[in-house]
Amino acid sequence: MYIQTHINQHTFKTKVLRSPREIKMGMMGKKFDGKFDALLFVMKTQESSFWMKNCIIPLDVIFVKNGKINKIYRNCPPCVINECKTYPGKGELVIEMLGGTCSAFNIKRGAKIEFST
């Protein structure tokens, strides 16, 4: 399923991930291929932690709580070892975008996020 994510008057085509398998795999072994600009993880808990295990591109990781950005990790590098750095945060939603997107579009903590179909 794809939706539109709106942040700071910018719109990103977003692939929604809900199943445990989809959430676990995320961007592992993938690049943004033009079909979507971001991944939206619908989390079952309010606190979660992400890592870049087997990712092939750097990513920005955005935690969303109550419709606003709660935390941003910028340009998280790919990791191919077993002991990867983790990126914890709070929020019912987490968005991954190509590393550098948040800086390029001036996306900051506290920004409102809206979704549409």
Question: Does the pTM of the predicted model rise above 0.85?
Answer: yes
Dihedral, 52, 54, 58, 63 alpha carbons, nearest 10? -30
pLDDT digits (tens, 9 = 90+) for 12-63: 999 999 999 999 999 999 988 889 999 999 999 999 999 999 999 999 999 9
Over residues 63-93, the pLDDT tens digits come to 999 999 999 999 999 998 889 999 999 999 9
Quick check: 25 and 56 in contact, CB under 8 A? no
Distances (CA, A) of 18 to 1, 31, 98, 101: 10, 19, 20, 23
Domains of the chain: 2-116 (2.60.120.1140)
Q: What is the pLDDT of residue 48?
A: 95
Task: Find the radius of gyration of the CA atoms of the chain.
Answer: 13
Short-list 96, 29, 91, CA closest to 66: 91
Closest among 67, 49, 62, 70 to 98, alpha carbons compared: 62
pLDDT of amino acid 80? 85
Q: What is the DSSP letter of 54?
A: T
* Helix, strand or coil, per DSSP, at residue 3: strand
